[in-house]
Copies of this chain bind each other. A is one copy, B any other.
Amino acid sequence: MVVELISVGTELLLGNIVNTNAAYLSEKCAQLGLSLYYQTVVGDNEERLAETLKTAVDRSDVVILSGGLGPTKDDLTKEVTAKVLGRELMEDAHSKERIQAFFKNSQFKVITENNWKQALVPKDAIVVDNANGTAPGIIIEEGEKAVILLPGPPNELIPMFEHDIFPYLRNRQPEVIYSQMVKICGMGESMVETKIVDLIDSQTNPTVAPYAKIGEVHLRVTAKGETEEEARKLTKPLVKELKSRFEDYIYTTDEQVTLEEAVIKLLKKNDLTLTTAESCTGGMLSARLVNVPGVSDVFKQGLVTYSNRAKKKLLDVKKSTLKDHGAVSEQCAKEMAKGGVLSTGSDVCVAITGIAGPDGGTEDKPVGLVYISCYMKDKVTVRKFQFKGNREKIREYSVVNSLVLLRDCILANYK
Contacts and interface: CB of A to CB of B under 8 A. Distances in A.
A79 interface: no
B22 A20 contact: no
A74 B304 contact: no
A252 interface: no
A112 B305 CA distance: 38
Q: Is the interface of A mostly helix, strand, loop or mixed?
A: mixed
Given A304-B303, A314-B301, A388 B106 contact: yes
Contact of A193 (B11, B42, B71): B71
B191 A112 contact: yes
Interface in A339-372: 344, 356-359, 368
Nearest to A290: B282
Interface stretch (A85-93, A262-270, A389-397): A389-397
A307 B297 CA distance: 9
Interface stretch (A33-41, A119-127, A165-173, A229-237): A33-41
Interface residues of A, number: 113
Contacts of A412: none
A392 B291 contact: yes
A25 B359 CA distance: 28
Most buried by B among A42, A107, A280, A396: A107
A212 interface: yes
A392 to B, nearest CB: 6
A107 B40 CA distance: 38
A48 interface: yes
Contacts of A43: 37
A309 interface: yes
Given A290-B306, A307-B296, A155 B390 contact: yes
Contact of A14 (B11, B201, B209, B283): B209
Contacts of A113: 194
Given A112-B190, A283-B285, A287-B281, A30 B14 contact: yes
Contact of A393 (B38, B107, B155): B155
A294 B306 CA distance: 11
A386 B107 contact: yes
Contact of A209 (B16, B303, B358, B393): B16
B391 A291 contact: yes
Interface string A295-335: 11001111111110110001000000000000000000000
A110 B188 CA distance: 10
A204 interface: no
Contacts of A114: 190, 193-194
B22 A19 contact: yes
Interface string A5-32: 0000011111111111011111111100
A289 interface: yes
A70 interface: yes
B39 A210 contact: no
Given A105-B386, A283-B284, 10 more contacts: A11-B211, A14-B27, A16-B211, A37-B48, A110-B191, A153-B212, A281-B287, A283-B287, A290-B306, A293-B391
Interface of A: 10-20, 22-30, 36-43, 45, 48, 52, 70-74, 102, 105-108, 110, 112-115, 131-133, 153, 155, 159, 188-191, 193-194, 197, 200-201, 209-212, 220, 276, 278, 280-287, 289-291, 293-296, 299-307, 309-310, 314, 344, 356-359, 368, 385-393, 395-396, 401
